[in-house]
Amino acid sequence: MDAVPNKLVSVILVSWNGREYLPEALSSLYRQTYAPLEIILVDNASRDGTVEYVESEYPGVILLRNPENYGFCKANNQGIRIAKGSYLLLLNPDVRLKEDFIEKAVRTAESEEKIGMVSGKLLTARDPTRIDTTGIVLEKTRRALDRGQGEPDRGQYDRREEVFGVSAAACLCRREMLEAVKVQGEYLDELFFAYKEDVDLSWRARLMGWRCVYTPDAIGYHDRTWFLGNRNRIPRRIRRHSLKNRYLMMLKNDRWSEIRPCLKALLGYELKSLGYILFREPHLIRALFQVIRLFPQALRKRRGIQEKATVGKGDLIRWFQGGRSF
């Protein structure tokens, strides 16, 4: 087996009152077999002692303190800008990694220069026999799903393969890719604030010719508090951001050549979704008004993205079906 290159990996965690998760997350980073690493924690004005804990227990962590909650996207961008690594691992504080996660992920990324993003196999922390995510699938309806979420881990995702995208819960990104796909100086779109930013980043990467790859031997454990199918447990603010960001990412990234073959499914989904919003969750109407307000900014970003797109028209249509072999 080839030696793993000793390129610096910068790990970026964004915390907002996530103190309870940090002992396991940070200790798992300090146990990694890969070196060199730098660890950056961006704190969004936590009030639970996050900053004090990190300063006391992990003085080697680079700490950025925000005066207010800037959101997941802007805080990650802050971390990316100061990071020195050739690779950047975006990591949620509620994820702990097996000791060879980074080594396995870097080895996968190094296998081909056009691999821009790498996903490992994330299992649920509360029941490690079940899958949290093995990458992102985007359906014809543009509904984004974590592949395999909630399924028992029976080895059905035990081969390395290309996927549409990678969850930002634990996402290894090539620095060159991040620089290539940024728009208006932003790596993650700050219009999103949080949620679906990983789908958007993956979509941009694909438009610009980068590959997203899942490797099953990089394993982590995600302490997610809600899953597909238990929507009532998802806080309203998350549901609003998620809906708003669905339309923003479509406005910026989608192309008629890929919409046309999916139009029937997409229109059917939108009609059902609108009916659901009106009769079951009218609070989500606020998200639709947000989309209207942000439309001019999203349109400007769309121009920047489409000008840099390198893949042919219609080339992404296969990704609205699921994954394919690596």
Per residue in 216-257, pLDDT tens?
A: 999 999 998 765 556 666 778 889 999 999 999 999 999 999
- CATH code 3.90.550.60 region(s) in the chain: 9-222
pLDDT of residue 217: 98
pLDDT at 295 over 70: yes
- Bridging pattern class, strands 211-222 and 115-124: parallel
Q: Give the residue ranges of DSSP H helices in 208-262.
A: 236-253, 256-259
Tens-place pLDDT, residues 133-187: 999 999 999 999 999 999 999 999 999 999 999 999 999 999 999 999 999 999 9
pLDDT at 78 over 90: yes
The more confident residue out of 236 and 73 is 73
pLDDT of residue 325: 38
pLDDT at 326 over 50: no
Where does the pLDDT of residue 321 fall: very low under 50, low under 70, confident under 90, or very high at 90 and above?
confident
Class of domain 9-222 as given by CATH: alpha beta
Structure tokens at 158: 């035990």
**Cross-strand pairs, 39:** 11
Where does the pLDDT of residue 3 fall: very low under 50, low under 70, confident under 90, or very high at 90 and above?
low
Residue 145 in contact with residue 136, Cβ under 8 Å?
yes
Instruction: For the chain, give the mean pLDDT.
Output: 94
What's this model's pTM, rounded to 2 decimal places? 0.94
Where does the pLDDT of residue 76 fall: very low under 50, low under 70, confident under 90, or very high at 90 and above?
very high
Across 295-300, average pLDDT: 98
Across 190-215, average pLDDT: 97
Residue 243 in contact with residue 287, Cβ under 8 Å?
yes
Residues 222 and 241: their CA atoms lie apart, in Å, by 21
Nearest to 74 by CA among 169, 194, 237: 194
Provide, for the chain, the percentages of residues in helix, strand and coil under a 3-state DSSP scheme, each rounded to the nearest 5.
Answer: 40, 25, 35
Window from 101-110, 175-184, 280-289 with minimum mean pLDDT? 280-289
Window from 3-12, 92-101, 105-114 with minimum mean pLDDT? 3-12
